[in-house]
Structure 1
C-alpha cells in the first residue's frame, strides 16, 4: 500500500470505511471490493482499507485486541514486538526506576505502547516519515507518548532528560533481505551501544541469531521464546540487568514466564555425554540459543546423547519443576538404527497411521519421510531422528 492510500485512510471517510469492514476473510475480499466500488467509493481507498483489514487480522497474533485500532505496513508488522514480550521489556524499565524512555526506533509503536501502559513517559522516534505518522496514529490514546520523525541516535539524550533508552534496529534491507552484519543494521549496532555512555539504562531487541562472540561483555543477553517460537534476543545494560551480565533464556508459555540463568555449580559449556536412557528432554529453543543446554542437563541429572546435539537424556524422570517448561520430556520406548524399511515395518506392526516426526542433526525431511513410510492404522506415534554418539538413530518416544 502506497502513502497515498494511507493518506486516504486517515480522512474521515477512509477511517469510517476501515472501521466498518467485517472481520477479514480472504474469500470475501474481492466481492467486498467490487461491491464498494459499485457504490461509488474510490478504488484506491477500497484497496487501502482492505489491505489494512488484512494486516490487522494478521497483527492479532502479536498485538491482540490493540490491532483493531491500529494501522500497519507489511515491513512494520514483521518487525513489531509481540505485546506479551513488549510488556516484559516495559517492566524492566519500570522496575529499574526509569520514568522517561527514549524509543529510538519506534516503528509502528508496539514497544512504546507497552512502555506507556506501565506508566512511563516515552519519546518515540523513527527516521521514516510514513512509519512515524502511523506510530502517531497508533499511539494517539497515550498522551504520555511523544512521536517525532527523527534519527534517534542523533538525539541529545541528556538535554531530552530521558533516563532509559530502547532500540530495535532494522535488520532487513529495503528489498526484504535479512542483514546479519551488526554494522549494517539501521541504525548500526555500535551507534546504539554508544548511547549507554550517556544513559546507562539501555535495552536492545535484536535477531536471535546473533553469535555469542558478538555479545557485549557488559550485557545481559536474553533469548526469548513465545509458545515455542524463538522471537528475539534482548540486550540489557546497567540497571536494566540487575543480576549482571550473562546469558539467560526467557520462556513464555501458556501465559506464564520462566527465566533460566546458568546454575552457579553447573557446567554449561561441556555437559557429560552418554547413552540414551529411559527419558529424553528437548530444551526450548531459547534455552538452546542461550547456550544453557548444560544447565538443563545438570538440573535433570542427565547427559547429552551426542556432543553436537541439543538433546538431553536421563535414566530416571526428573521432577517436573526441574525441566518444565524449559524443556519437553519424552519417555523413550525404543532406540533403532535409522533405516527406511526397518522403520516402516516397525510402525506398521504397531498400526501407527499418524506420526509426529521430530529431528535434530539429520538431513531427513519429515514430510518426505512421512510419504515414504506410507503409514496406515489407528494408532499415533512420535519418533525422533537424530545422532547418538555420531550414528544416525531413530528414537521412538511418547510425551511425558
Structure 2
C-alpha cells in the first residue's frame, strides 16, 4: 500500500466504504468489485477497501474481533503476533514493574495493542512510513500509545523515560524468503540485545527455528506453541526473565466460541535452567502408552524434561517420542505438555505385512504420523490403498534404531 492509497482509505468516503463492505468472501469478491465499479466508486479505493476486508479476514485468526477495526499490509498480517501470545508478552512487562515500553519495530501494532491494553505506556516506532501510519490508525483508541515514523534504534530511550524495550525484527527478505541468520534480521539481533546495557528489560521476538548455539547466556529463550502450532520464540532479559536464564517452552491452549468473553486460554510452562544437570532419559521398549511432546517442548530441547515429568522413557535416543507403561498423570493445572496415545500394536516396518494387518481389520481411514523416517504419509497411504469402514492411527518411527510402525489410539 502506498501513501496515496492510504489517504483514500482514511478519507471520510473511504472509511465509510470500508465499514459498509460485507465480510470477505472469495466467491463473491469479483462480483462485489464489479458492483462498486458500476456504482462509480474510485477503482483504486474499491481495490484497497476489498484488499482490507481480505486481510482483516485473515488477521482474525490472530487478532480476533480487533482485526475488524484495523488496517493491514500482507506482510503486517504475516508478522503480527497472535493476540493471545501478545497478552503473555504484556504480562511479562507488567510483572517486571515496567511502566513504559518502547516497541522498536511495531509493524501494524499487534504487540503495542496488547501493551496499551493492559495500561502500559507505549512508544511505538517503525522505519516504514506507511506501516507507522497504519499502526497509528490501529492504536487510535489507546491514548497510552504514541506511534512514530522512525528507526527504533535511534530513539533516546533514557530521555523518553522508557524502562522496557520490545522488538520484533523482520525475518524475511523483500521477496518473502525467510532469513535464518540473526545477523541479517532487520534490525540485526546483536544491535537489539545490546540495548540491555541501557535498559535491562529487553524482549525480542525471533523465529522458532533460531539455533540454540550462540544465544546470549543471560537470556531466557522461550519457544511458544498455540493449539499445537509452534508460532514463535522469544528472548527475555533482565527483569523480564524472573526465573533466570535458560530455555523454556510455553504451551498455550485456547477454547470457546471465539466471541468476546466466550474464549478461554490455558497456559503451561516447562523450563530448564542453564545450571540444570544434563538430563539423560532412559531408552527402552515401547510400553502401553506413547506420548508426543508439544512442538514448543521439542524446539526448546526439553524432551528429556518432558520424559521425566511423564515418568517415561524414549523409544529411541534420537526420537522425540516418550513411552510409559501406565498413563501419565494429568497436569494439576494448565494444558498437557504432550499428546497421549494408547499403544495397540508394535510392528517392524514391512509394507506387505502392514497392508495385510490393515486389510484383516477392515481399516480404510488412516491417520499417519511420522518422526525419524524418510517415508512420507502420502507415499505410504498410496502404497497401502486402505479399504474398509474402520479407522486407525499409525506412527512411523524408529525404535532402538530400527524402523517400526506403532498402531495407536488417541487418549481422550
TM-score, normalised relative to structure 1 = 0.97
CA distance in 2, matches of 1:344, 1:117: 56
Correspondences of 1:37-52 after superposition (within 5 Å):
37-52=37-52
Are 1:207 and 2:207 counterparts? yes
**Count of residue pairs brought into register by the alignment:** 400
* CA positional deviation for 1:69: 0.3
Give unmatched runs, 5+ long, in structure 1.
none
Residue pair 1:267, 1:298 contacting (<8 A) in 2 also: no
- Deviation readout 1:253-293 (Å, 9 max, x if unpaired): 13201111139998654212111111111000000011111
* CA positional deviation for 1:330: 0.7
Are 1:307 and 2:317 counterparts? yes
Correspondences of 1:119-134 after superposition (within 5 Å):
119-134=119-134
* Aligned residue in 1 for 2:357: 346
CA distance in 2, matches of 1:200, 1:58: 36
* Aligned residue in 1 for 2:106: 106
- Deviation readout 1:50-96 (Å, 9 max, x if unpaired): 11100000000000000000000111110000000000000000111
CA distance in 2, matches of 1:47, 1:171: 28
Give unmatched runs, 5+ long, in structure 2.
255-264
CA distance in 2, matches of 1:74, 1:134: 12
Residue pair 1:306, 1:387 contacting (<8 A) in 2 also: yes
CA distance in 1, matches of 2:275, 2:99: 37
* Aligned-residue CA RMSD (Å): 1.6
CA distance in 1, matches of 2:6, 2:67: 16
* Aligned residue in 2 for 1:361: 372
* 115 and 236 in structure 1: CA distance in 2 versus 1, 3 angstrom threshold: same
Residue pair 1:136, 1:147 contacting (<8 A) in 2 also: yes
* 359 and 205 in structure 1: CA distance in 2 versus 1, 3 angstrom threshold: same
The answer to which structure has the higher helix fraction is 1
* Aligned residue in 1 for 2:344: 333
CA distance in 2, matches of 1:326, 1:355: 25
- Deviation readout 1:293-339 (Å, 9 max, x if unpaired): 11111112211111111001111212122895100111111111112
- Deviation readout 1:160-197 (Å, 9 max, x if unpaired): 11110000000111111111111110000011011110
Are 1:374 and 2:385 counterparts? yes
CA distance in 2, matches of 1:264, 1:78: 33
* Aligned residue in 2 for 1:25: 25
* CA positional deviation for 1:14: 1.1
* Aligned residue in 2 for 1:115: 115
* CA positional deviation for 1:109: 0.1
Residue pair 1:263, 1:295 contacting (<8 A) in 2 also: no
* Aligned residue in 2 for 1:391: 402
* Aligned residue in 1 for 2:294: 284
Q: Secondary structure at the match of 1:84?
A: helix
CA distance in 2, matches of 1:198, 1:128: 25
Q: Secondary structure at the match of 1:72?
A: coil
Residue pair 2:244, 2:273 contacting (<8 A) in 1 also: no
Higher alpha-carbon deviation: 358-367 or 261-270? 261-270
CA distance in 1, matches of 2:275, 2:283: 18
* Aligned residue in 2 for 1:73: 73
CA distance in 2, matches of 1:28, 1:179: 36
CA distance in 1, matches of 2:374, 2:147: 48
Q: Secondary structure at the match of 2:93?
A: helix
